[in-house]
Homo-oligomer: A and B are copies of this chain.
Amino acid sequence: MGKSLSVNLSRLKSTFEMSNKIGGTKNGGIHRLTFTEEDKQMRDIFVQWMKDSGLKVRVDDFGNIYGKREGKNKNADSVMIGSHLDSMPMAGRYDGILGVLASLEVVRTLNDHNIETERSIEIVNFTNEEGERFKPNMLGSGGITGKHDKEFIYNVKDYEGITFLEGLKEIDYLGSKNNRASHVAYFIELHIEQGPFLEANKKVIGVVDGVKGSSRFKLSIKGVSSHGAFPNDFRNDALIAASEIALVIDNQPDIFQDNLTTSIGVFEVYPSVQSQTSENVEMTFDVRHLNGNIKRKAINNIKQSIEEIANKKGVEVKLEQTWDANGQNFSKKVIEMVKDGAESYQYPYQYITSSPLHDASYIADIAETGMIFVPCEKGLSHREEEYVSFEDIEKGVNVLLYATQKLANL
């Protein structure tokens, strides 16, 4: 079993071709934000595809879409597979989308071979994973796992003041609370790596052992602007303090050498004019690690350095934490099945910890969860250039097929 079974790559390609047209950008990317016309179009087609494959489709009160393929054992909890169909602005064709379309292909392949499973298999498309239009991200999976109150989610507003609930109604995907995922034994999400390791190590399958926890901060630095001719040692230059802090933040992974990731996002300098030094810098940064203790240690290092640099440079700092998510270890059983899948097809694989967050990191609270990564070129994601070869996609979907089938019969 399993080993010989393989997905239909040409069918999967044509499924992708349709997806590429919905919100497709002229540079080969996808622009498909939550609850926009493009999101609705893609959802409608996805629902139709699921119905055509004999699945029982339902929508919950956060707009998450499920399609169920009944198993032989009506009392057994199901195996859920899927991801999200929404995208970042001017983003890539694969992030999220791969996991959903691959799940459909898994079901279609089982149908092709008239394979029944003990457990039911459910495909899922989570709402608003990217969180670009409605912040924060992962509101669909966050809603059903209790990470956020329903009231909070419904009242989240986009840039124009439109609420999540209004957006949901607008595209006609407000379903019932009764339809939320429940009685799920296992969840598997196939996703592009969004990092460089598989490519660098010439591996095709990433057996994901967990998702890093992520803490985000906003830092305001207030110094004193002066004439550019003012002697350097007498200045309280916000930019120079911020530059030192940036290097400290960037240096933490070298200190811990332990799969820690840090990044600086927003970095705004005022007044930013010639021959005038800086008064203010506003910046954001994040710190990611699977292990909460190591993450905390790195954050404390950074905080201490910020204080020291602020004192040395005579600038005022205000640090605010804007997000905190714990790291999540994945299910040993799911990890084992993914590894077995890679071995059974003789695909080169490696264990890997996800640095970005995924719906899987929330779903891990309600089901035994795992992920499968496939390599993406140069690790680039959330960009129109995002690229995954269909050779690798085929392998990733085969492993998903293998693990799903195994878990559905356990």
Q: Once bound together, how far apart are the Cα atoms of A381 and B382, in whole Å?
A: 45
A237 in the interface, Cβ–Cβ < 8 Å?
A: yes
Q: Once bound together, how far apart are the Cα atoms of A254 and B240, in whole Å?
A: 14
CB-based contact A195/B265 at 8 Å: no
Task: Given A224-B380, A229-B355, A240-B250, output 19 extra A-B contacts at Cβ < 8 Å.
Answer: A194-B229, A195-B230, A196-B230, A216-B274, A225-B383, A226-B380, A228-B265, A229-B288, A230-B261, A231-B261, A232-B253, A232-B262, A239-B246, A239-B267, A263-B275, A263-B277, A265-B272, A268-B269, A276-B382
Taken together, the copies of this chain in the complex come to 2
CB-based contact A231/B355 at 8 Å: yes
CB-based contact A266/B273 at 8 Å: yes
CB-based contact B261/A265 at 8 Å: no
A1 in the interface, Cβ–Cβ < 8 Å?
A: no
Main secondary structure of the interface of A (DSSP, over half): mixed
A203 to chain B, nearest CB (A): 15
A211 to chain B, nearest CB (A): 10
Q: Once bound together, how far apart are the Cα atoms of A357 and B250, in whole Å?
A: 38
How many residues does chain A have at the interface if contact means C-beta atoms less than 8 Å apart?
59
Q: Once bound together, how far apart are the Cα atoms of A264 and B212, in whole Å?
A: 37
Give the residue of B227, B243, B269 whose beta carbon is less than 8 angstroms from that of A194: B227
| Chain B residues near A200 (CB-CB < 8 A) | 234
| Chain B residues near A216 (CB-CB < 8 A) | 274-275
Q: Once bound together, how far apart are the Cα atoms of A40 and B323, in whole Å?
A: 55
A320 to chain B, nearest CB (A): 13
| Chain B residues near A228 (CB-CB < 8 A) | 261, 263, 265, 286, 288
CB-based contact A227/B267 at 8 Å: no
Q: Once bound together, how far apart are the Cα atoms of A250 and B239, in whole Å?
A: 10
Q: Once bound together, how far apart are the Cα atoms of A383 and B233, in whole Å?
A: 20
A356 in the interface, Cβ–Cβ < 8 Å?
A: yes
A284 in the interface, Cβ–Cβ < 8 Å?
A: yes
CB-based contact B229/A356 at 8 Å: yes
CB-based contact B253/A229 at 8 Å: no
CB-based contact B243/A247 at 8 Å: yes
| Chain B residues near A379 (CB-CB < 8 A) | 226-227, 230, 234
A278 in the interface, Cβ–Cβ < 8 Å?
A: yes
**Contact A275-B286, Cβ < 8 Å, known A195-B230, A232-B250, A383-B225:** yes
Give the contacts of A370-401 with B (CB-CB under 8 A): 378-383
The 5 A-B pairs at the shortest CB distance, nearest first, are namely A229-B355, A228-B263, A243-B243, A229-B356, A265-B274
A244 in the interface, Cβ–Cβ < 8 Å?
A: yes
CB-based contact B231/A196 at 8 Å: yes
Greatest chain B CB density within 10 A among A216, A268, A276, A381 is at A276
Q: Once bound together, how far apart are the Cα atoms of A185 and B216, in whole Å?
A: 65
Q: Which residue of B lies closest to A354 (CB)?
A: B229
| Chain B residues near A234 (CB-CB < 8 A) | 195-196, 200, 379
CB-based contact A233/B253 at 8 Å: yes
| Chain B residues near A269 (CB-CB < 8 A) | 267-269
Q: Which residue of B lies closest to A383 (CB)?
A: B225
